[in-house]
């Protein structure tokens, strides 16, 4: 088994203010969830999670945002925060803090709407930052294809690098494959993973990444440390 642990960081640019802030906020809210009694925690998720059946009827639209900051387990949180830590800072460094804030939130909303479109009658709350982070990954694919992602192979405790476009392209193909397989399935059969939020977020990121690349990316500001 192997997984990413880092990437080539670009030199200079804007500080990763919101990339770091989102990591802190997500972790803080998850710790708050854990501090609640089980029944209260379930109600918290029901209240602030995005329920497709409600969203599709124009109810509780604000949960498309609040749901991005909830997580269901330590593994859910750690996986999302790892990918946020690896891929978000380069994008924020290039496009700026406020643009990154808007992009991240818009990516999460777009991802949530795609999931709602795929399962409009679902009463299961969708939670997690993965839709927004998928948008970050999609933008990274377009903006920094020549960057390298550092991987660690757990079995041998060895690290190696692969091009970002290879890692992200393979990741997206896995999401597409899984998303296709669960079309029409009940949530319990689909394993509780919002695959189409991942897909929708990534595609949104691809589109916005193309805009960002044209406007902000030059040979001078893509120098890796």
Structure tokens at 99: 């643009």
- 142 in a structural domain: yes
The predicted pLDDT at position 174 comes to 95
Q: What is the CATH number of the domain that holds 143?
A: 1.20.1540.10
Neighbours of 34 (CB within 10 A): 11
The predicted pLDDT at position 69 comes to 98
- 47 in a structural domain: yes
The predicted pLDDT at position 155 comes to 72
- 18 in a structural domain: yes
Regions of the chain short of the pLDDT cut 50: 188-190, 225
The predicted pLDDT at position 188 comes to 41
The predicted pLDDT at position 185 comes to 62
Domain count, the chain: 1
- 225 in a structural domain: no
- 91 in a structural domain: yes
Task: Report the b/e string of 86-102 with b at 16+ CB within 10 A.
Answer: bbbbbbbbbbbbebbbe
- Tens of pLDDT along 107-118? 999 999 999 999
- 222 in a structural domain: no
The predicted pLDDT at position 8 comes to 83
The predicted pLDDT at position 189 comes to 43
- 199 in a structural domain: yes
pTM of the model: 0.92
Note down the domain range covering 33: 2-216
- 224 in a structural domain: no
């Amino acid at each position: 088994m192997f997984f990413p642990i880092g990437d080539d960081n670009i030199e200079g640019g804007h500080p990763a203010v919101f990339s770091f802030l989102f990591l802190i906020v997500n972790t803080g809210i998850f710790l708050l969830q854990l501090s609640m009694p089980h029944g209260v925690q379930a109600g918290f998720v029901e209240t602030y999670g995005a329920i497709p059946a409600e969203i599709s009827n124009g109810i509780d639209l604000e949960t498309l945002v609040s749901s991005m900051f909830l997580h269901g387990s330590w593994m859910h949180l750690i996986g999302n925060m790892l990918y946020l830590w690896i891929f978000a800072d380069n994008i924020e460094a290039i496009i700026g803090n406020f643009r990154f804030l808007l992009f991240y939130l818009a990516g999460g909303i777009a991802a949530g709407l795609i999931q709602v479109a795929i399962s409009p009658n679902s009463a299961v709350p969708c939670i997690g930052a993965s839709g927004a982070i998928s948008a970050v990954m999609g933008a990274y694919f377009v903006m920094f294809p020549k960057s390298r992602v550092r991987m660690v192979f757990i079995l041998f405790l060895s690290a190696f690098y692969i091009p970002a476009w290879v890692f992200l392209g393979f990741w997206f193909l896995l999401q597409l494959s899984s998303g296709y397989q669960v079309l029409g399935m009940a949530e319990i059969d689909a394993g509780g993973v919002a695959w189409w939020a991942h897909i929708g977020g990534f595609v949104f990121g691809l589109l916005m990444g193309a805009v960002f690349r044209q406007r902000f990316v030059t040979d001078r500001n893509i120098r890796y440390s």
